[in-house]
Amino acid sequence: MDNNVSKTNKVSLSIVAEAAGVSKMTASRVMRGEGGYSEKTREKVMAQVDALGYLPNRLAPLLAGDTTSTFVGVSIPDLGNEVFAQVLEGIDQKLGSHGYQTVLGLTQHTLEKEESWIETVLSWQPAGLILTGRSHSRRALDLLMNAGLPIVEIWDLNSSPLDMNVGLAHFDSGYEMGRYLVRLGYKAFGYVGTSHDTANAASRRLEGFSKAVSDGGGTLVRQFCLHDTANFYPGFYGTEQLLASGAKVECIYFQNDSMAFGGFQYCERIGLSIPRDIGIAGWGDMPISSVLRKRLTSIHVPHLKLGQAAAEAMVSRLKGEAVIDSRDIGFSLVPGQTVREL
Amino acid sequence: MDNNVSKTNKVSLSIVAEAAGVSKMTASRVMRGEGGYSEKTREKVMAQVDALGYLPNRLAPLLAGDTTSTFVGVSIPDLGNEVFAQVLEGIDQKLGSHGYQTVLGLTQHTLEKEESWIETVLSWQPAGLILTGRSHSRRALDLLMNAGLPIVEIWDLNSSPLDMNVGLAHFDSGYEMGRYLVRLGYKAFGYVGTSHDTANAASRRLEGFSKAVSDGGGTLVRQFCLHDTANFYPGFYGTEQLLASGAKVECIYFQNDSMAFGGFQYCERIGLSIPRDIGIAGWGDMPISSVLRKRLTSIHVPHLKLGQAAAEAMVSRLKGEAVIDSRDIGFSLVPGQTVREL
DNA sequence: TTGAAAGCGATACCAA
DNA sequence: TTGGTATCGCTTTCAA
């Protein structure tokens, strides 16, 4: 009378056990291969596993609280910015190689989206969380504290992380670029970037840059922050706006290389020669730079490695190994050919 | 750093209920706001929810089988190819706006990784799966059949999808480009792409292109498939190899615009003028094209929309609404300025 | 080497 | 408007 043909052809462990003529427990032991059964039993069970296409339900042991889950929540601002795509790729690669899966959350740079994503993902009992950025909403912080699971905050270097931290000193990278450009003799600068919340890493780069410029006696004449993704076209368009504003700038600092390339293209389009007429500096040392005749003056950051290091920190912690709380992934200046020489 | 959290301060519904002096069921009703309780009771319960920082465990109702989960597995080949990053962004945006979350799987273009990811993700009872590509390993197919949940296969247009399908006719898009270029008078072609499994969409574009070329009396003189990501540098390097091989080509067809731009840069580097000396055609009408003085001759594909449409199909199905099994997202030829004129 | 029973957290169902 | 009980799939604990 009982057609086990219910709409979901769920094959559970007890069905397998029954078919194999053993108890649930025995079947469970065989599945986990932890010993305590005869070879003959193993064969009987495995035969049914294959025949029925049994796939364990990992939610059950998780509920029972014996195990910790194998997925890690990862929040990323957006994927239109190639830099974040690379970080995510690094995270997922490394997580995957250790048997963990990525649950993605795109926050679009807003703390509200991050908060609601955190709430949802937490309700699934993830093993841990990897979050981009150091600032979180009040409620998100409460949730995170309460959850008490491993957290890696990436991107920014953070002297007082929630838990673990992998990132780089954005302010310093901006400062170094500013100092470099001032030393080359530039005095009047422009900036083109995108604007999200004010507390993001790009703003901190700009702060560092700005400080270096004023420390060196130069001026940040004008800055344009567009409401857009930090990609090619906004760089192009932002540069158009900057130059059209009448600001006299000798060199433009961009949020990243994609935007810098967009700006580069705009400058050449209107007949400016680079670096003769105007200097261009980016950030990230992104892939496009490798094919340009004039390599972009930029800051090299190992994005993929940053993601991998974050995932490694998470995995180590989950395995109960010792983990360095904070890791500086570093950066280095790439002189390039888009600014004048000394 | 204190790990007073290791014991997981599990606040369960019964703890909340007890603290509020009501039964689990009453507390449950309040949490779900489905009515059937007094205002006073609601207040008592919510006060404890706040005080204890209670967060529901979504795994429990899932286990009981009453609900279907709110996460969708999404497999993507890689994120180094901007095109896929956009598709993923479209998927996650749309999924998120309907309360679903993305569980990411990067397959690195291998069926084996896809298979093992499918197995893992299935064991968490996802609501559905969105898979890139039409080909799956034998075992993956078995798993998918057995799971019996909604599946959207994206990227390729597929006349016999496992379930639902959102994509475009890659062969046709290659054919259209080939025909266009032949009509412009080109006879000898080269191709530069990346090689993964042979059954992927890019190969189908190449097949279509190749057919159009021979139909039009032209020749595909040489093709280079690199083991790399379809990004700028491989396009640059592949073009170098192609031209160094001594093949006489008048026009090069690339796997996508990123590679095409890399090739463009190589050609100009060695003094070739485009399109005077050699023609360049890409695919995808990717963001970089918007800032180039000479827009790339390409095929426009609405990547973000493709991702969104896939997520919409999934959500509709999950809501029990009628869904068109197969959706052609379309493409259109972008003439550009990197090939000769008629 | 095997099995029976309890329990994880939440909800459906039925009772009061 | 409330609460008790069974249940989902699996593992732990304790017995045989």
| pLDDT, tens digit (0-9, with 9 covering 90-100), for B97-140 | 999 999 999 999 999 999 999 999 999 999 999 999 999 999 99
Is it the case that residue B2 has pLDDT exceeding 60?
no
CB-CB contact of B42 with B30 (8 Å): yes
Note whether residue A65 is domain-resident. no
Q: Enter the tokens of residue B296.
A: 């790339």
Give me the pLDDT at residue B342, please.
Answer: 83
Query: Tens of pLDDT along B172-204?
Result: 999 999 999 999 999 999 999 998 765 689 999
CATH of the domain at A313: 3.40.50.2300
The pLDDT-based confidence of A4 (bands split at 50, 70, 90) is: very low
Q: How far does the CA of B50 sit from the C1' of C15, in Å?
A: 31
Note whether residue A337 is domain-resident. no
Instruction: Kindly identify which residue of chain A lies nearest to residue B233, measuring between CA atoms.
Output: A291
Note whether residue B66 is domain-resident. no
Q: What is the mean pLDDT of residues B43-66?
A: 92
Query: Are both B95 and B192 inside the same structural domain?
Result: no
Query: Are both A198 and A107 inside the same structural domain?
Result: no
Residues of A with CB below 8 A from B77's CB? none
Query: Are both B214 and B123 inside the same structural domain?
Result: no
Q: What is the mean pLDDT of residues A251-258?
A: 98
Query: Are both B174 and B296 inside the same structural domain?
Result: yes
Query: Tens of pLDDT along A295-339?
Result: 999 999 999 999 999 999 999 999 999 899 999 999 999 999 999
Give me the pLDDT at residue A198, please.
Answer: 57
CA distance A47 to A125: 33
Give me the pLDDT at residue B6, please.
Answer: 29
Give me the pLDDT at residue B199, please.
Answer: 67
Q: Enter the tokens of residue A342.
A: 């000394």
CB-CB contact of A31 with A56 (8 Å): yes
CA distance B341 to B279: 10
DSSP state of A291: G
Quick check: A104 contacting B, CB < 8 Å? yes
CA distance A81 to B291: 16
Which among B9, B104, B106 is the nearest to A146, CB-wise?
B9
Query: Tens of pLDDT along B266-300?
Result: 999 999 999 999 999 999 999 999 999 999 999 99
CA distance A146 to B11: 9
Query: Are both A287 and A316 inside the same structural domain?
Result: no
B16-24's contacts with Cβ under 8 Å and 24+ in sequence apart are B16/B45, B16/B48, B16/B49, B16/B52, B16/B54, B17/B45, B19/B48, B19/B51, B19/B52, B20/B44, B20/B45, B20/B47, B20/B48
Q: Enter the tokens of residue B124.
A: 């968490």
Q: What is the 3-state secondary structure (H, E, C) of chain B?
A: CCCCCCCCCCCCHHHHHHHHCCCHHHHHHHHHCCCCCCHHHHHHHHHHHHHHCCCCCCHHHHHHCCCCCCEEEEEECCCCCHHHHHHHHHHHHHHHHCCCEEEEEECCCCHHHHHHHHHHHHCCCCCEEEEECCCCCHHHHHHHHHHCCCEEEEEECCCCCCCEEEEECHHHHHHHHHHHHHHCCCCEEEEEEECCCCCCHHHHHHHHHHHHHHHCCCEEEEEEEECCCCCHHHHHHHHHHHHHCCCCCCEEEECCHHHHHHHHHHHHHCCCCCCCCCEEECCECCHHHHHCCCCCEEEECCHHHHHHHHHHHHHHHHCCCCCCCEEECCCEEECCCCCCCC
Is it the case that residue B3 has pLDDT exceeding 80?
no
pTM beyond 0.95: the answer is: no
**Which bases of strand C sit closer than 7 A to a protein CB?**
1-5, 7-13
- Continuous segment of H or E residues that includes residue A153: strand A151-156
Q: How many domains does chain A have?
A: 3
In whole numbers, what is the pLDDT of chain B averaged over residues?
A: 93
For residue A209, the tally of other CB atoms under 10 A from its CB is 26
Which among B1, B63, B85 is the nearest to A60, CB-wise?
B63
CB-CB contact of B339 with B276 (8 Å): no
- Please tell me whether residue A10 adopts helix, strand or coil conformation: coil
Query: Are both B177 and B292 inside the same structural domain?
Result: yes
**Orientation angle between helical segments A232-244 and A257-269, nearest 10 degrees:** 50
Query: Are both A129 and A75 inside the same structural domain?
Result: yes
Q: What is the mean pLDDT of residues A123-152?
A: 95
Q: Enter the tokens of residue B63.
A: 């286990």
The pLDDT-based confidence of A65 (bands split at 50, 70, 90) is: confident
Q: Could you list the residue range(s) of the whole structural domain that residue A24 is in? A: 13-56
The pLDDT-based confidence of A2 (bands split at 50, 70, 90) is: very low
Residues belonging to chain A: 342
Query: Are both A188 and A295 inside the same structural domain?
Result: yes
CB-CB contact of A311 with A95 (8 Å): yes
CA distance A284 to A264: 16
Positions 52-111 of B with beta carbon below 7 A from strand C are: 56-57, 60-61, 63-64, 66-67
Note whether residue B340 is domain-resident. no
Note whether residue A2 is domain-resident. no
Quick check: B105 contacting A, CB < 8 Å? yes
Note whether residue A34 is domain-resident. yes
Query: Are both A257 and A221 inside the same structural domain?
Result: yes
- Continuous segment of H or E residues that includes residue A332: strand A332-334
Give me the pLDDT at residue B7, please.
Answer: 34
Is it the case that residue A121 has pLDDT exceeding 60?
yes
Which among B1, B53, B79 is the nearest to A142, CB-wise?
B53
Note whether residue A342 is domain-resident. no
Query: Are both B224 and B146 inside the same structural domain?
Result: no
Query: Are both A84 and A193 inside the same structural domain?
Result: no
Q: What are the DSSP E strand ranges found in A205-247? A: 219-226
Is it the case that residue B331 has pLDDT exceeding 90?
yes
Q: What is the mean pLDDT of residues A34-57?
A: 93
Quick check: B59 contacting A, CB < 8 Å? yes
Contact B5 A288 (CB under 8 A): no
Give me the pLDDT at residue B9, please.
Answer: 57
In whole numbers, what is the pLDDT of chain A averaged over residues?
A: 93
Note whether residue B65 is domain-resident. no
Quick check: A291 contacting B, CB < 8 Å? yes
Contact A117 B105 (CB under 8 A): no
Is it the case that residue B5 has pLDDT exceeding 70?
no
**What percent of chain B shows pLDDT beyond 90?**
91
CB-CB contact of A263 with A280 (8 Å): yes
The pLDDT-based confidence of A197 (bands split at 50, 70, 90) is: low
Is it the case that residue A188 has pLDDT exceeding 90?
yes
Residues 230-249 of A with CB under 8 A from B: 231-233, 235-236
CATH of the domain at A21: 1.10.260.40
Query: Are both B181 and B287 inside the same structural domain?
Result: yes
Residue nearest to nucleotide D6 (CA to C1'): B64
